[in-house]
């Protein structure tokens, strides 16, 4: 199955970057890769972005890449804020790209990927805790899956600071 190999490659790549990634973080990655982050596009988006950037330690994670593909179709990416700022890109441009990156994903697509993730863990093709993966799966509302936060260990270790955007919109900013 085409999705199987793409999903496996995506998650193996993310796990190589962040070995302490937990099933909850895989869930978040898959969720964002289908639905983007439309759930955070409210009236406080700009002030929150400014505040988050002002609190970043730009000396952290010097090897962090600017972009990371997070969807199996490669159309949705994470833009890591530290390299965005270190490279002198405009924060207002990032904000504008956020507004253009409202993704209308489908629950069925997410559930298919999540079920595939569970199968890959069961088969031993992905190194995630099976018991934890199954527990997380049992809490999933299949009619209305919700966004989740990163795991505590992921947040403490990797200090994630990024925005999820459409690759085509990011490309326009990076090419100017």
- Using one digit for the tens of pLDDT, what is the confidence trace for 111-160? 999 999 999 999 999 999 999 999 999 999 999 999 999 999 999 999 99
Helix (H, G, I), strand (E, B) or coil at 66: coil
pLDDT for residue 52 is more than 80: yes
Of residues 98 and 39, the one with the higher pLDDT is: 98
Of residues 55 and 36, the one with the higher pLDDT is: 55
- The share of the chain scoring above pLDDT 70, in percent, equals 95
Confidence band, pLDDT 50/70/90 cuts, at residue 11: very high
Judge whether 86 and 132 are in contact, CB under 8 Å: no
Which alpha helices (DSSP H) does the chain contain, by range? 2-17, 23-35, 45-54, 81-86, 91-100, 107-122, 130-139, 152-158, 167-175
Locate 43 and state its tokens.
Answer: 């009236």
Helix (H, G, I), strand (E, B) or coil at 82: helix
Tens digits of per-residue pLDDT, 83-108? 999 999 999 999 999 988 888 889 99
CA dist., res. 72 & res. 64, Å (int):
21
Query: What does the DSSP 8-state code read for residue 145?
Result: -
Sheet holding 162-166, edge to edge: 67-69, 76-80, 162-166
> CA-CA-CA-CA torsion for 103, 71, 160, 88, nearest 10 degrees?
-80
pLDDT for residue 1 is more than 60: no
> What is the residue-averaged pLDDT of the chain?
92
Q: What value does the mean pLDDT take over residues 20-27?
A: 98
pLDDT confidence of residue 118:
97
Confidence band, pLDDT 50/70/90 cuts, at residue 37: confident
């Amino acid at each position: 199955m085409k999705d199987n190999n793409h999903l496996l490659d995506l998650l193996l790549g993310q796990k190589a970057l962040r070995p302490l990634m937990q099933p909850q973080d895989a869930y978040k990655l898959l969720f964002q890769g289908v639905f983007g982050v439309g759930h955070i596009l409210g009236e406080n988006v700009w002030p929150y972005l400014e505040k988050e950037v002002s609190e970043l330690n730009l000396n952290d994670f010097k090897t962090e890449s600017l972009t990371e593909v997070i969807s199996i179709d490669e159309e949705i990416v994470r833009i890591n804020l530290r390299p965005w700022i270190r490279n002198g890109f405009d924060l207002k441009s990032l904000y504008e790209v956020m507004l253009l990156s409202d993704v209308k994903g489908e629950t069925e697509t997410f559930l298919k990927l999540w079920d595939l993730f569970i199968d890959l863990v069961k088969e031993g093709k992905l190194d995630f805790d099976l018991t934890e993966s199954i527990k997380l799966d049992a809490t999933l509302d299949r009619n209305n899956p919700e966004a989740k936060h990163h795991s505590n260990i992921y947040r403490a270790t990797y200090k994630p600071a990024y925005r999820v955007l459409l690759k085509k919109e990011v490309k326009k900013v990076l090419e100017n």
